Structure 1
Amino acid sequence: MSNISIISTMSNNAKGLMLTSLGIFIMSVESLMIKYTTISSFVFSFYLGIFIFASMLGSLMFKKKNYVKNAFKSSYIFLIACATMMAVSNIFFITAVKTTSVANVVIIFSTAALFSSLIAFILYKEKMSKNILYASFFMFIGLFIIFSDELSLGSIEGNIYALLCTILFSVSFVLLAKYKKMDRMILTALSGIALSMIAYFLSDNLKIDTTNLLIVMSMGLVISSFSRVLIGNGAKYISASEVSLLMLIETIMAPIWVWIFLNEIPSSNTFIGGSIIILTLIINSLYTLKKEEIV
């Protein structure tokens, strides 16, 4: 039986779990690819934006003629705002990976789901459950421990970039949840354009050698686009809580890839603070899943 046949016979939940897990697993390689390059974060962002846009443009060519026109009819201001925030968030992420340890970056980024709940409460007064408040308390304890690390490997500058990346991503996630009609493919294409434009104005020199170009190209055309297609399709069949729980695959795997290939070992503060955050996220996700089952 072929892999396609196996997937088609799965239940929707099993299919969602498999597609999302595979997408997140592939996405976990991105940090290693960023770390491997010897170019600045702005040069990386410039070319990455071009390849992301090219990838989405190739997909959009197979859509109907009025697809793009209709996508801009609803919430186009928020579509552009969201794309810009995602672009800036990407620049902060790339800069953070190049500045501090990958473990620090992905652990800080793993708090995005909880930050989204806090931001939704601030912007739209959405009610926060008690478990989110408890989880946020332990999340900030974990972040405090990571930020208090003064070792050279875990620089405070890189941690700040990672935190800014997480906050901007969380705001864009809240907007996406609020304006559900926003087209994800158009959004990704616009974020690619925004990423290149912002990086162009911030970079002094856009020269790139063949090796670095191939790494960025493979990330923009294959890794980033393919992983997000898998995650997007998988997320249709499972709950947000399950997606949040599966996102921990990246939190765990990204530092492992960098440890295997670049021998980058996280500091003790990252282990302690990260363990608190990961454990908090697991407990919160499992609690939410159990509550959803009861309802």
Structure 2
Amino acid sequence: MSENLISAATPLPGPAAIAETRRGMVLVFGAALAWSFGGVIARSLETADPWTIIAWRSLVAALFLTGFMLWRDGPRGTVRLFARMGWPGISVGLCFVASSVSFIVALGYTTVANILLMQAGVPLIAALLGVVFLRERVDAVTWAAILAVIAGIAVMVSDSFGAEVSPIGDGLAVLIAFTFAAATVITRRHSGMRMTPAVTFGCIIGSAIGFALAGELAVSARDAGLLVLFGAFNLGLGLALFVTGARLVPSVIAALISTLEPVLGPVWVWIVHDEVPAGRTLAGGGIVFLALMAHIMWQWRMSRRMALPIPS
């Protein structure tokens, strides 16, 4: 049977499934870590036009991902991956394009705080979509972790609760949450399908949109180097790690771990740019971090217990 026909409903034998789940959790954590450096890199850029940044960042990410597939699968294998990604792959690519473009547009209408607060709902949306479409069971501990994450993000952004409400900006923020959650669930549903070509396709579309809307494409040599880092490490590597890891773990777990991105982001900005986060940012981030670490350790412990032989 082709690996493209294997779905999330086809479990591996016990020990193998446990090992795959742990590997998936590590990969998604790596994706969140890579994405969390986005704020530091963006703050270091001199280029003001966001569409110029999107254009070059997405292009570099597409080249990085294509190069990775050529190295791993060879030219023929890479062509086959693109040919076989079908509607699931196209859907995942479009979801990530919608999410990234909506983020840039939403910044012109609403606050970063409102966007982060909406993103905190991604695990909840992924859990509900997983229950409906994948019949994934969400235990009480995971529901508690979801609520803790939402509460922690709310504390982080509570200073901005008095900001003016923008239907367009907040609507786009909701769209970001839904598209990211949907991409996570689709990736899990088609766990036998490699989604690297899907996110490469998404980066190509994002780059085309950026080049079409950019006011000025020329950048300094310094910014060019930062954009290579922005595209290859922050976006390209992050997407590759996420779509690889999200195939191996329940949708809600992948979405939960990915919320480490907005928690770690202010830490790197603090270290590199000496911007001290507000007390509520640190308190809320601490709540999210502790909730996620406790949940990951609980998942690890449960998987270890399941791997132990049943006494005769």
TM-score (norm 1): 0.71
Judged with a 3 Å threshold, the aligned counterparts in structure 2 of structure 1 residues 105 and 284 are, in CA distance, closer, same or farther, namely: farther
Alignment of 1:260-271 (within 5 A): 260-271=271-282
Partner of 2:211: 200
**Alignment partners' CA distance in 2, 1:228 and 1:284:** 23
Aligned residues: 285
Correspondent of 1:180 among 166, 176, 191: 191
1:175-227 deviation line (CA, Å, top 9, x unaligned): 10001233233123212102112333444444433332221123223554456
Partner of 1:141: 151
Correspondent of 2:66 among 54, 57, 63: 57
**Alignment partners' CA distance in 2, 1:140 and 1:236:** 24
Q: CA RMSD in A?
A: 4.4
One-letter identity of the residue aligned with 2:38:
E
Q: Which moved more, 1:35-44 or 1:12-21?
A: 12-21
Judged with a 3 Å threshold, the aligned counterparts in structure 2 of structure 1 residues 161 and 282 are, in CA distance, closer, same or farther, namely: farther
Identity of aligned residues (%): 18
Partner of 2:9: none
One-letter identity of the residue aligned with 1:49:
S
Whether the aligned pair in 2 keeps the contact of 1:139 and 1:277 (CA below 8 Å) is yes
Alignment of 1:66-145 (within 5 A): 66-72=76-82, 74=84, 76-92=86-102, 112-145=122-155
Whether the aligned pair in 1 keeps the contact of 2:195 and 2:244 (CA below 8 Å) is no
1:223-281 deviation line (CA, Å, top 9, x unaligned): 54456667778899999999788767755543222112323232333233333322222
Gaps of 5+ in 2: 1-18, 307-312
TM-score (norm 2): 0.68
**Alignment partners' CA distance in 2, 1:13 and 1:128:** 15
1:119-178 deviation line (CA, Å, top 9, x unaligned): 32244453322222222333333343344322899x999998766544422211111000
**Alignment partners' CA distance in 2, 1:233 and 1:126:** 19
Whether the aligned pair in 2 keeps the contact of 1:103 and 1:270 (CA below 8 Å) is no
**Alignment partners' CA distance in 1, 2:109 and 2:275:** 13
**Alignment partners' CA distance in 2, 1:126 and 1:234:** 17
Partner of 2:38: 30
Judged with a 3 Å threshold, the aligned counterparts in structure 2 of structure 1 residues 241 and 161 are, in CA distance, closer, same or farther, namely: closer
Whether the aligned pair in 2 keeps the contact of 1:102 and 1:254 (CA below 8 Å) is no
